[in-house]
């Protein structure tokens, strides 16, 4: 199925959980924030949230600095 990942069209297997997709995309243990269709997804629900066709997923990494 087709989704948008950080504004790039990508394909993913149907019935993929967000937690599995993040590992697939190389974000396994990385500290990130995820929004799906403009809504923040709590980390505690990554293993419950199934990605759906047409979802727009935005992943951001915190930036340190001073």
CATH number for 33: 3.10.20.30
Q: Does 65 map to a domain?
A: no
Given a cut of 90, is residue 32 above it in pLDDT? yes
- The mean per-residue pLDDT over the stretch 15-43 comes to 95
**Per the structure, how many domains does the chain have?**
1
Q: Does 55 map to a domain?
A: yes
Q: Which domain holds residue 39?
A: 2-60
Residue 20: band (very low, low, confident or very high) from pLDDT cuts 50, 70, 90:
very high
Residue 61: band (very low, low, confident or very high) from pLDDT cuts 50, 70, 90:
confident
Contact 47, 34 (CB under 8 A): no
Contact 56, 34 (CB under 8 A): no
Q: Does 21 map to a domain?
A: yes
SS (H, E, C) the chain: CEEEECCEEEECCCCCEHHHHHHHCCCCCCCCEEEECCEECCHHHCCCCECCCCCEEEEECCCCCC
Give the pLDDT score at 17.
98
Q: Does 13 map to a domain?
A: yes
- pTM summary value: 0.89
């Amino acid at each position: 199925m087709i989704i948008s990942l950080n504004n790039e069209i990508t394909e993913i297997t149907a019935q993929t959980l967000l937690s599995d997709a993040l590992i697939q995309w190389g974000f396994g243990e990385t500290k990130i924030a995820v929004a799906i269709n403009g809504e923040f997804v709590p980390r505690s629900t990554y293993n419950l949230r199934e990605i759906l066709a047409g979802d727009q997923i935005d992943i951001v990494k915190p930036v340190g600095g001073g």
